[in-house]
Each structure stands twice: as structure tokens, then as C-alpha cells.
Structure 1
């Protein structure tokens, strides 16, 4: 799988236009969020390998040690090379619900933000939500502080940490939307949700239209009027964007890190966390 530039990562706007995302339906117009073309043009969604995204920063699903592990964490460490692990060793770990930033080394991105999501506990769901939201908010803050304009998130905590994808996705999307609505929101040009396994794909396909409703016309007559008035140049642009959105799902990493590489991913709860 080749490197994918930030500009070629499909936006919510494009996915609606290509009918890859289905607009949400609401019981009452009063409960539907106001559609925003600006947000839809800046929110990206892609299914693929986050280590292949040429964005300013990618967000790693790290553990408290920040020394690597399995899944996405291990894949990022392997792709970045041993210098990433050396830098991470100097960071003295990271608290759950927070994040730290490093260089990207051999990755096509510029920075890696290591966010430590919570191990899901249904008995303390509110605390899990707070920690998960904290990962996204802190990552976005770090991106802005380090002049990163484009950032891609992996689906934090939905792997071995057991956070149900349909519970995690709305927490993640809400945190991102609230940041974009804040004073630093306009400093980000693109925020990408990167899915890998089908359960995360289904969750984001369901929840993104709820938080970011379509601004596209719904009636077929309206589509015909708009499409009839498009120039050949616009038509070509849409075709090129459509091709860019066709990303193959990479193979799931199966190899475990060597003894000299990142440690096996296993989070040890902090003393102030619920067990």
C-alpha cells in the first residue's frame, strides 16, 4: 500500500456525494445538529493503514509506558524505526486520558501523538468516556501547539482495551467537533478518523452523519439541476477525488515485537484509576 497524501483522504463531504455515507435521520428537526459545510470539508474518514498517511500528525493508540506493543501501536513503532522507541523512553510514560508528542522518523507523517486510552470498564462508563475524550482533546491541542494542520486518529481503545466501537465513536467525534467549534478549531485543516477493522468502520459510518449532517441536496431533481450545471473541470475533480477514496484494507499485523523492540502492549492501571 502506497503513501496517501492528506489531500487525497476523502472528506465527509465527498463521501456523502459519492453516497459512501448515508445521511442520518432524526425523529425531530429540533434535535438535528446544524449542518456545516466547513466541518464536512475538514473531517476525513478512511479505512486503511494509519502508518501510510502523509499528514502532519498521526495519533497512536499507546499504553502508559509509551514503549510500543501490539496492534496499531506496534505497527507504528515498526514503521517509524528504533529512534521512535529511543525518544519515547525519555518521556517517562503518559497518564491514561492524556497524550504526548514525538517525532515520526521513518513514517511519512511529521509527528506521532501517543494517546493513552482507557481500558473499558462498564461499571465506570462515565470515567471511561472522560478519559477517552481527554485523549482526543489533548491530541488536538498538541497538534495545534506544534503547528500541525492535519491530524489522523486511530480508533483509540477499541482494540485490546475492549471499548465497544459504537460507544467509543460518538465520544471521539463529539470531542473533535467541540474542539473545532472552539477558539483553536480553525487552526486545523483536516481531522481524519482512520478505521481498520469492520466494527470500527460500521461505528464511524453510523455516528459521523449524526454529528456532521449532510449539506447535500436530497431530492433527485436537485441533484440533476446541480449536476447539469457543473463544468467539465468540476466533473474531473470529482472523479479524481473518487479514485483517491479507493483505499485497500491492509493486512492486519500479526508479528509480535522482538525482545529488542517495543514491549508487548499491556496497560497497567494507574494508582488513581478504577480497577
Structure 2
């Protein structure tokens, strides 16, 4: 794993935390292998009790950052810095690689004058970039230098994207050079002004996603932190590296609205980081133009549907009139959706969750995630349907990033459980393109004649692109042709009703649904 390019061929003798130097004195360096991994620091007994496992199973809502013992074994939280004895450590600096922050000064002091001389030849490193140098007198064989962004709140999204790139480029360089371990400081300095907690969120989710995709290429990732930073890491690490199913479930509600894309890169757009389409156009003028297009800059407040999309019908008329481009509408739609998502992440939705009307189960025969909706568990006349929408977004946001299927149990529903077509239309309008494109099938289980008629009218007259995905399923036997029995959790009343109506289920080959 430590084989690297010829420029980096200098080897150092590995020293453990209790090793001695050439004169027999105790070494000040700490070996990566002597540090306890994050997974070993769990206070909970990992899934040890039946009660814990049952609580999690009953919840049925998984975090986008799943409990993974192997990944946790690769992560170390260590209060230290340049004394790390591993393959590489990270130095955060400025564009000229001369920044005098505590991390950089410590590295330069321990590495000796050769490092400064070497970096003078390189001259510069741009923001986002990652550059490699020898470790010289450090225990670490190499130093990866990177430059974090200067933070301004009005350009929060741009700064977040730059900081993500720093971490990603460092990890990519470590992967390319077959490094077995890397020690990460917080890639920003006080002078650059990035809020510490926001920066750590980006660091953790970027490294989590990298380990999910490229975990086999690196053995240890060490978060080498100061005493001041340690408490924040301790608070946020469970969100991205939960050490048990219980901790995963407990941490889910504390995740921020923006959890990044599949690689951890920020995706939430911010109004403060607008780029003028017209060169030299003042921001005030641009804001007036946006207001003229019906853009709502305020938060969604009391969840009123009338504010959900800034009057979708009006926007579509503007498109037809040539006053608003399709691309502009899509951007505005995404901004509004992200406001809903932010609200969903911050609001207490435990009353809706307790209904167990929406939950994730296994996968279908094509490997796609199966989401279950239980109609009888939705008392539409008794609950706040706007909160129900928020809960749907909260649960589905990370599910909808790839192919998924819905199983809707219409079993034993009454008029008090039937979702209004206007609500369904609003729901369909507010969710993003990923929801619609990645929805592969809707299995409508135990439909009635009236529900079939209503579904036909809704999918024909109200929404487009959904009709061909609806499959009416009259029995669990028929459902098992696309989803194996062990991959779906049935409510007891559904099984009992199906047995009464269709007889007990036997393992004979069920008829196939055309998906």
C-alpha cells in the first residue's frame, strides 16, 4: 500500500507510540497503528440487546449514513497533529504556502528547513488544489498541502464547494499514490474565517462518502484535531459514522438540511451566492428582476401550499409567454424544494413518524429500494397534512437519489384515510425531478373498483409520466412476483385480510407483473 511514485520514494523507519529514537530516548511521534479507531470508542453495546434491535426495526427509517462497522474501523479521532507517524499528514496553508497558522507552523518546525526550501520551488497552490511534498524530518513520509477558501457568509455555497474540493482532492491524491493512511487537520484557518462546525460537517460527510466508494484503497483516516476542535468532532462524528444501529437512528434527526450528493459535495443553492448573468449588473437590480418573476425569498413559514412553488401555474404561463425559461423554472423549483427539505430537517415530526404510514423495507427483484405506504395508517382528517408532506420529504430525500419502488397498501382503508387528489397533485409538484425519474413502479395493493377509477383519472388528467408506473396488485401472491417475501414487511392486518380474501400464501410460482 505504501508504494508511491519515484519522486516520493524516500522511506522512513516506522516508529510506534512507545518506540525509541536512535539515542534510546522515547519517541515523541505517535504511530497510526497504535491509535484506537472510532468504531472501538462506542459507549453503546453494538446492537447487543433485543430491545434496541426491536426499537430500530420498528422505526424503519434509515439514515443516509448507515452504520458500517468496517468504515468505522478505518476512522480515528486523535488529539494531535504533526507528530503523527503515518503515510501522510495534511497541511492547510495559503496560496503561497507560507501561512503561519498553528497547524502549518508545527509542521514546518518539525519537518526542518528542507521543507521550506522545497516549497519555495513550488511557488504556489491554488484554492481547492492538493500538492504533495516529502515529509523530511517528520515521522510522516509525505505532506499533502491544500488551500481552503476564504469564507464570506454571502458566498456560503461557493465556499462550501471549495472546501469540499480540498478534502476530495487530498483523498484522491492519497488514493492515486497508494497511501495507507492520512492525517487530516481541519482544512481552514481562523484567518480564513470558515465556521468550525460547518467546516467539520463538510469534512466528515466528504470522507464518509469517499470511504464508501474507495474504502479499499486506504487503511486509516485520522482526524488530527486540537483540544478546541475535539468537542465538535465528538458531537458530529456520530451523524456520519454512527457506531451502532441505535446511534444511527438517534443521529438521523440532527443531520443538516444539506447532506451533499453521493460524494458529499454541497448541493443546497444559496441566494447569497448568485452570479450576475449580465456583467456589471448590481445585485439590487437582479433581486428586483427575480421578484418580478414571482420568486419568493422567504422561508415557507406555516407550510401553506399556496407558497410552495411561487404559484406554479403562473410560472408555467410565463414560460409559454417567453418571460421565464425552463431552466430558470427548474432552478426556482429546486430552491423551493430545498426550503421544504430544510424545514423537514429542523421540525419535530415524531407525531407523523409514530403513525408508521411510510417506511423503508428491503429491495425488489431488480435490487431497487422498496418504500411502503400504509393507507389505513393515514388519518387524513386528524393530522396536519403539511407536516405529512414534510415527513415524506424528510424520509424520501436520500432514497430518491437512485431507483426505488413504492408499495401502497390500500387494504381496509376508509373515507377517513383517502388522500385528496389536490394534496397528491401538490406533493407531485413540490418534489424534485429525482423523485419522479427514479420512481420505477407503484404497486397498488388491494385496490377497490373506486380506487382504480380515481387512480386512472388522477394519472391521466392531473400528472404526466406516472400512469404507466401504476400496477394494481390484488394479492400478496401477485406482489411476490416482483418483491420476494423476505424483502417486505407487511402490517399484520394486511396479511390477515389477504389470507381471508385470497387464501393462505403457498410457495408455488406466482404470476409475473410486467414492469
What is the TM-score with the length of structure 2 in the denominator? 0.39
Residues 114 and 136, structure 2, Cα contact 8 Å, conserved in 1: yes
Residues 71 and 215, structure 2, Cα contact 8 Å, conserved in 1: no
> Which secondary structure state, in structure 2, belongs to the residue aligned with residue 160 of structure 1?
helix
**Residue 80, structure 1, aligned to residue 80, structure 2:** no
1:121 corresponds to: 152
After superposition, where does 1:1-275 map in structure 2 within 5 Å?
Answer: 2-17=28-43, 30-32=61-63, 33-48=65-80, 50-182=81-213, 184-198=214-228, 200-215=229-244
> Which secondary structure state, in structure 1, belongs to the residue aligned with residue 100 of structure 2?
coil
- For 1:212 and 1:161, the matched residues in 2 are separated by 27
> Which secondary structure state, in structure 2, belongs to the residue aligned with residue 30 of structure 1?
coil
Structure 1: state its 5+ residue gaps.
Answer: 20-25, 219-275
Q: Closer, same or farther in 2 for the Cα pair 1:158/1:164, shift >3 Å?
A: farther
Q: Closer, same or farther in 2 for the Cα pair 1:31/1:159, shift >3 Å?
A: farther
In the TM superposition, residue 67 of structure 1 has moved relative to its aligned partner by: 2.9
> Which secondary structure state, in structure 1, belongs to the residue aligned with residue 144 of structure 2?
strand
In the TM superposition, residue 30 of structure 1 has moved relative to its aligned partner by: 2.1
1:81-105 deviation line (CA, Å, top 9, x unaligned): 1111111112231111221010000
Residues 87 and 181, structure 2, Cα contact 8 Å, conserved in 1: yes
In the TM superposition, residue 175 of structure 1 has moved relative to its aligned partner by: 0.9
- For 2:147 and 2:217, the matched residues in 1 are separated by 24
Structure number with the bigger relative contact order (C-alpha 8 A, sep ≥ 6) is: 1
> Which secondary structure state, in structure 2, belongs to the residue aligned with residue 45 of structure 1?
strand
In the TM superposition, residue 160 of structure 1 has moved relative to its aligned partner by: 2.4
- For 1:123 and 1:31, the matched residues in 2 are separated by 33
1:192-243 deviation line (CA, Å, top 9, x unaligned): 1111042x2122111110001113888xxxxxxxxxxxxxxxxxxxxxxxxx
> Which secondary structure state, in structure 1, belongs to the residue aligned with residue 121 of structure 2?
coil
- For 2:62 and 2:150, the matched residues in 1 are separated by 31
Q: Closer, same or farther in 2 for the Cα pair 1:112/1:194, shift >3 Å?
A: same
> Which secondary structure state, in structure 1, belongs to the residue aligned with residue 125 of structure 2?
coil
1:157-201 deviation line (CA, Å, top 9, x unaligned): 14322211111111001111111122x331100001111042x21
Which is worse superposed, 98-107 or 139-148? 139-148
